[in-house]
Amino acid sequence: MKHPKIFSGLAAVGIVVAITGCTPATQGPEESIVPVISPPASSPSSNPSESSSAGEQSHDHGDENPARVELAKQAATIMTTWDPTKDFNRTAAEMRARKLMTKERAKEVIAPKRPATGVEWLNAAEKKATSKPTVKLMTEHHEQDTIAITATWQWVTEDGESWAGEGKQTFFFTFTDEEPYKIRDYVSSVR
């Protein structure tokens, strides 16, 4: 072959065209294929501390009962507020949140017999720090009758030293049908 550079250049162009596809000249711009949804000019929020971070949008789903959202936030806050000098493990915080649950669900919260361990917990205990959570409604969660809340936390000492907690805990709550609402069930995961 006399012109290997031309052949390899044409092959590269062919691969790029094959990967990206060809758009006929009569077809409109890309957004005619994939709709572009602009964020609302202003997102309704009952709580200024709930404002979205960069890149996130707040949506009013209409099916999220404000009382249930507040109950979910309250529960997530209680469940991620720990004092390692007093709490045997993280489940101690869930035990404190039982007052927000149905009697049946509250009975299912059972503390393990082993103490909490791990660098984060032991460091907080050594410095006599308490967790200070920040909770946020997960607006991208759309499972019917379930409210999802994420919690992150800072560890704060009495003298004001603070550092970020490791990970994030996500809660998925379901509720009783009538007021006063109670948490019927929940699951959580830590990342």
Q: Is residue 111 part of a domain?
A: yes
CATH number at residue 182: 3.10.450.230
What is the average per-residue pLDDT within 173-179?
96
Q: How many CB atoms lie within 10 A of CB 160?
A: 6
If one counts the domains in the chain, the total is: 1
Q: Give me the pLDDT at residue 78, please.
A: 98
Q: How far apart are CA 110 and CA 72, in angstroms?
A: 20
Contact 159, 149 (CB under 8 A): no
- pLDDT of residue 31 exceeding 70: no
Q: Is residue 86 part of a domain?
A: yes
Q: Which is more confidently placed, 39 or 126?
A: 126
Domain that holds residue 180: 63-190
Q: How many Cα atoms sit within 13 Å of 188 on the Cβ side?
A: 21
pLDDT digits (tens, 9 = 90+) for 55-78: 333 344 445 899 999 999 999 999
The reply to whether omega before 180 is within 30° of 0 (cis) is yes
Q: Which is more confidently placed, 162 or 53?
A: 162
Q: Give me the pLDDT at residue 59, please.
A: 42
Q: Is residue 122 part of a domain?
A: yes
Q: Which two tokens stand for residue 61?
A: 């789903």
- pLDDT of residue 17 exceeding 80: no
Cα end-to-end distance, the chain, whole Å: 56
Q: How far apart are CA 109 and CA 2, in angstroms?
A: 77
Residue 168's closest CA among 187, 180, 152? 152
Q: Which two tokens stand for residue 14?
A: 């062919």
Q: How far apart are CA 186 and CA 72, in angstroms?
A: 10
Name every residue whose Cβ is closer than 8 Å to that of residue 186 and which is 6 or more positions away in sequence.
Answer: 75, 105, 171, 172, 173, 174
pLDDT digits (tens, 9 = 90+) for 74-117: 999 999 999 999 999 999 999 999 999 999 999 999 999 999 98
Q: Give me the pLDDT at residue 143, please.
A: 86
Q: Give me the pLDDT at residue 55, please.
A: 34
Q: Is residue 14 part of a domain?
A: no
Q: Is residue 16 part of a domain?
A: no
Q: How far apart are CA 133 and CA 131, in angstroms?
A: 6
- pLDDT of residue 148 exceeding 80: yes
State pTM to two decimals.
0.67
Q: Which two tokens stand for residue 93?
A: 């915080």
Q: Give me the pLDDT at residue 141, please.
A: 82
Average pLDDT value for the chain: 76
Q: Is residue 182 part of a domain?
A: yes
Share of the chain above pLDDT 70, in %: 67
Q: Is residue 1 part of a domain?
A: no
Q: Is residue 9 part of a domain?
A: no
